[in-house]
């Protein structure tokens, strides 16, 4: 398994447990029956996961090809948010939030009137 490639013998047992945890999420043996209310315990070592998938992130973050073959998959969007927050905390500089809209505003909508003021 790729997860065990290049690790020391000390790390093998911990990584095997992690891979079993990931497989348990996939086959539904981790969590609860009701998929809407599933609670998955995330390992405390998100930093280890990010460092493993994105080694030398800060040195390579301006290289688009660095991200093309890498991904961290999660079962829920809330976990994605947690990982994104962690990764963003590593990157120096100011944070900018860009907003988007799913459909154009009509010329007489309340939002458009507020934008004109």
Domain definitions of the chain by residue range: 2-116
Confidence of residue 59 (pLDDT cuts 50, 70, 90): very high
Between residues 65 and 28, the one the model is more confident about: 65
d(CA 106, CA 108): 6
**Strands annotated E in 8-106:** none
By the 10 Å C-beta count (0-12 exposed, 13-18 middle, 19+ buried), 57 is classed as middle
Place of tokens 């007489």: 108
Q: Which of 52, 30, 54, 51 is nearest to 42 (CA)?
A: 30
The Cβ-side half-sphere exposure at 62, using a 13 Å CA radius, reads 2
Span 36-43, average pLDDT: 59
Lowest average pLDDT, out of 45-54, 56-65, 104-113, goes to 104-113
CA angle 21, 24, 27 (to 5 degrees): 155
Task: Give, in order, the Cα–Cα distances in Å from 31 to each of 3, 14, 42, 74, 83.
Answer: 23, 20, 11, 13, 19
Interacting residues of 74 by C-beta distance below 8 A, sequence separation 6+: 80, 83
pTM: 0.49
């Amino acid at each position: 398994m790729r997860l065990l490639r290049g690790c020391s013998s000390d790390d093998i047992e911990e990584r095997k447990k992690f891979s079993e945890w990931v497989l348990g999420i996939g086959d539904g043996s981790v969590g609860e029956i009701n998929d809407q209310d599933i609670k998955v315990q995330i390992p405390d070592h998100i930093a280890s996961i990010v460092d493993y998938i994105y080694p030398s992130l800060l040195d390579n973050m301006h290289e688009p090809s660095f991200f093309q073959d890498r991904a961290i998959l999660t079962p829920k969007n809330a976990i994605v948010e947690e990982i994104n927050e962690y990764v963003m905390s590593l990157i120096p500089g100011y944070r900018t939030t860009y907003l988007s809209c799913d459909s154009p505003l009509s010329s007489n909508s309340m939002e458009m009137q507020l934008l004109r003021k």
